Amino acid sequence: MSETAPRPTLEAVAARAGVSRATVSRVVNGGDGVREPLAARVRRAVDELGYVPNQAARSLVTKRHDAVAVVIAEPETRVFADPFFARQLRGISKELTAHDTQLVLLLTEGREDHARVGRYLAGGHVDGALVFSLHLDDPLPALIQRAGVPTVFGGRPGWSDGMREAAYVDSDNRGGARTAVRHLAGLGRRRIAHICGPLDQTSAADRLEGYRDVMDGGDPRLIAESDFTPAGGERALGELLDRVPDLDAVFAANDLTASGALRVLRARGLRVPEDIAVVGFDDMLPLAEQTDPPLTTVRQDIEGMGRLMARLLLRGPGTAPPGPTGLAGGTGGTGRSLVLPTELIRRASA
Amino acid sequence: MSETAPRPTLEAVAARAGVSRATVSRVVNGGDGVREPLAARVRRAVDELGYVPNQAARSLVTKRHDAVAVVIAEPETRVFADPFFARQLRGISKELTAHDTQLVLLLTEGREDHARVGRYLAGGHVDGALVFSLHLDDPLPALIQRAGVPTVFGGRPGWSDGMREAAYVDSDNRGGARTAVRHLAGLGRRRIAHICGPLDQTSAADRLEGYRDVMDGGDPRLIAESDFTPAGGERALGELLDRVPDLDAVFAANDLTASGALRVLRARGLRVPEDIAVVGFDDMLPLAEQTDPPLTTVRQDIEGMGRLMARLLLRGPGTAPPGPTGLAGGTGGTGRSLVLPTELIRRASA
DNA sequence: CTGAAAGCGCTAACAG
DNA sequence: CTGTTAGCGCTTTCAG
């Protein structure tokens, strides 16, 4: 990588404007306390020289970085296979931008990367961290806590130990699942199966709980564990159908899973929703509209979650959450945790 | 955002180990030139104190940041609607990680953000930039060039002016399109239409060129411009069908477009591929496998593009491109530009 | 209201 | 081989 051309320093601007460095600094940072004729001269010098403050120098003294890290820990290949993170990222980015804060993305592909991330966070590059850690046994959260950086988690963290006070933002997975299953029941369906996601992820576990809430605990023969992928959905529905041939509905833990299930149904000549009704979760577009038939599903405001995470981190405790948002337990940490409502989107599959 | 706890400094470590700051610095940065008994003492002090070097201070003197910016300029909502960027990001992240370099993500939602990005790049936070700028009239590239930061573009830049020497990595869009259309022709299809993408994007323009290469210039009535979305694909195919009712094949500029086209075909009762064969571009999964029928399409190695972009930026001119990669014109800048080969994936739609 | 001076934490000559 | 000495570019008291 070739060298970056040397940029003008505060010194240079000061010289050109015929003032001291301190004065230039004042003008550059808001300009209060400098009288007009002078300030204008400084601004002109800044423009002429194309001066841009050196952030490293600034951080060194202010101890602020105007940057937050987004840590996405997902060993599996699936990480970006669905637009889920991407959408949250977008929400985060919008909110950070509004606060003139940079987004530093830290992707970890496996445990080897954890040390690197820990070092980075501890290295004082950022003012805080937004962390997506999906698995129960993930060592990352502990590592991050040790780094002593303010943190907000995306999705309810699953470790019971010292993490109780972690701030997080999540969708109402359990409530959404209940809505989905109730919808199916309301359609007159009786043998409602559930294809759940990997239970070491709280979102999957919570959706399963929601299903059980409505199904009175749920017959184990009606539940198959899967992995949030289309292929997994195919396999799981196959099992379910073999076990309970007269199934009349299935609630899939996410849309990807549902799409796999749909494929199996079509292959076996079963009509949706006449023979079997299907409900997904996520409202992942364009997939959810593109399946045959289009998927009835539980929408969560993914971008909104991202935005809220950033807001929580930036504002710290204090400001009330905006708009129509449910509010949940949470405690200390960087403020309350937030649980966003979900919404059933009716299409043709149920 | 609450304050980060004060971290131990080099000074503290030095005191604890009973050596000078310089010695600690040496040990921390590779440790050459420090005799063993001492070095060990230093390392222990580092561990005990949990010392992590302050990057701001380090950058201030070294002028290096071990960080690269990824700039994604995409005003439309579509940005993250498809996993395209996500996949490239992943490739980039892998390569950067291997070089112990951080990824700083800069998303721009509109022109208002350009200034911010320019400032950031010029602010000397990063050693280089990886830029995705899709539109011909995008002012960002010029802005970036002014910032004087080494840059590699994702996708062939489209401005003819002073940008000629920009380094970039791209897929062989034109060649891939030729392959697709030849495949259709090889199937005996004669009235092959093309739904192209927005022509202010080089990828769309190049695919159109590839189509024309094979179609001998191409009958304008067989070409409809669209916008890389399913809805756009629907609309475009509708027009095409109205204009040329006896169409027997269509090459869509991407899989999203193709999926929309498929939907129209199904709605009109036309069989695929019997009545009309369809080929897409991207091999975007799971979509391409999930459509009905599964899509024949042109695969590009998206993650590989990302990896190569990072490599190009980091290694600068010099190291040869790895593996089975085509090599294209390119010039000065940060090294050669690279054009990666594409591959036709045959499924049921053509 | 403006300038002078100190120092953030670190690396890189330069001595010893 | 190790320690001493200067700054990197900026903000921030503290005087004037």
SS3 of A43-103: HHHHHHHCCCCCHHHHHHHHCCCCEEEEEEECCCHHHHCCCHHHHHHHHHHHHHHHCCCEE
How many whole angstroms separate alpha carbon A228 and alpha carbon A225?
Answer: 9
Average pLDDT over residues B50-66: 90
| CATH superfamily of the domain spanning B10-62 | lambda repressor-like DNA-binding domains (1.10.260.40)
Cα nearest neighbour of B284 on chain A: A81
Judged against a pLDDT cut of 70, whether residue B121 lies above it is answered with yes
HSE at residue B232, side-chain half, CA atoms within 13 A, is: 18
| Cα gap A299→A212, rounded to integer Å | 20
Return residue ranges of chain A for CATH 3.40.50.2300: 67-170+303-340, 173-301
Res A302 pLDDT > 80: yes
Give percent of chain B above pLDDT 70.
88
Q: What is the pLDDT of residue A325?
A: 37
CB-based contact A89 B79, cutoff 8 Å: no
Cα separation, A133 vs B215, in Å, equals 51
Which residue from B54, B93, B316 is facing A107, i.e. has the nearest CB? B93
Residues 6+ apart with CB under 8 A from A120: A69, A106, A126, B102
The dihedral through the CA atoms of A32, A38, A42, A47 has a sign that is positive
Task: Please name the residues between 56 and 115 in chain B that touch chain A, using a CB distance below 8 Å.
Answer: 56-57, 59-60, 63, 65, 67, 70, 79-83, 85-87, 89-90, 93-94, 97, 100, 102-107, 109, 113
Name the CA radius of gyration of chain B, rounded: 25
Query: Which CATH code of 3.30.70.100, 3.90.1200.10, 3.40.50.2300, 3.40.50.300 fits the domain covering B173-301?
Result: 3.40.50.2300
Mean pLDDT of B81-105: 83
Asked which of A126-130, B161-165, B292-296 is least confident by mean pLDDT, the reply is: B161-165
Q: Which one has a higher pLDDT value, B292 or B299?
A: B299
Give the model's pLDDT for residue B208.
98
Give residue A46's pLDDT band: very low, low, confident or very high (50, 70, 90): very high
- Which amino acid is located at B157 in the chain? P
Per residue in B156-201, pLDDT (tens digit) is 887 655 566 789 999 999 999 999 999 999 999 999 999 999 999 9
- Most confident of the following: A157-171, B180-194, B286-300: B180-194
A264 touches chain B (CB under 8 A): no
CB burial of residue B47 (10 Å; 0-12, 13-18, 19+): exposed
Average of pLDDT values for A53-58? Answer: 91
Tokens 């112990």 belong to B100
Instruction: Tell me the chain A residues in contact with residue B61 when contact means C-beta distances shorter than 8 Å.
Output: none
pLDDT band at B316 (very low <50, low <70, confident <90, very high): low
Is a pLDDT exceeding 60 seen at residue A281? yes
Would the pLDDT of B109 be above 70?
yes
Residues A186-211 have a mean pLDDT of 96
Res B81 pLDDT > 60: no
User: Per-residue confidence at A87, pLDDT binned at 50, 70, 90?
Assistant: confident
Q: A34 vs chain B: nearest CA distance in angstroms?
A: 23
Average pLDDT for chain A:
86
From the list B219, B168, B171, B109, the residue with the least C-alpha distance to B325 is: B171
**Which site among A3, A4, A313, A334 would you substitute to test the B interface, given the most B Cβ atoms closer than 10 Å to its Cβ?**
A4
pLDDT at B207 over 90: yes
Which residues of chain A have a CB within 8 Å of the CB of B287? 286-287, 290
| Dist. CA A118–CA A116, nearest whole Å | 5
Does the pLDDT value for residue A330 go beyond 70?
Answer: no
Q: What is the pLDDT of residues A205-237, one digit of tens each?
A: 999 999 999 999 989 999 999 999 899 999 999
Of A138-147, B235-244, B319-328, the poorest mean pLDDT is in B319-328
Q: Which class in CATH covers the domain with range A67-170+303-340?
A: alpha beta
Q: Give the residue range(s) of CATH 1.10.260.40 domains in chain A.
A: 10-62
Nearest nucleic acid nucleotide to A62, CA to C1' distance: D11
| Residue A348 confidence (pLDDT) above 80 | yes
Q: Is the pLDDT of residue A79 over 90?
A: no
Q: What is the mean pLDDT of residues B134-146?
A: 79
Instruction: Give the position of tokens 């997904």.
Output: A280
Residue A107, H or E segment: strand A102-108
Q: How far apart are CA B175 and CA A350, in angstroms?
A: 44
Put simply, the answer to whether B1 touches A287 (Cβ < 8 Å) is: no
- One-character DSSP codes across B29-57: TT-TTS-HHHHHHHHHHHHHHT----HHH
Question: Is A9 (CB) below 7 Å from strand D?
Answer: yes
Predicted local confidence at residue A326, as pLDDT: 37
CA A32 to chain centre: 39
Predicted local confidence at residue B82, as pLDDT: 56
Q: Is pLDDT above 70 for A324?
A: no
- Determine whether the interchain pair B124/A52 forms a contact, defined as Cβ–Cβ distance below 8 Å: yes
- From residues 25-54 of B, list those within 7 angstroms of strand D by Cβ: 26, 33-35, 38-39
Whether A285 contacts chain B with CB within 8 A? yes
A332-346: pLDDT as tens digits: 334 578 999 999 999
A23-32, A78-87, B222-231, range with greatest mean pLDDT: B222-231
What does the pLDDT read at residue A243? 96
Which chain A residues touch B81 with a CB distance below 8 Å? 83, 285-286
What rounded mean pLDDT belongs to chain B? Answer: 86
Residue B175: count of CB within 10 angstroms of its CB: 18
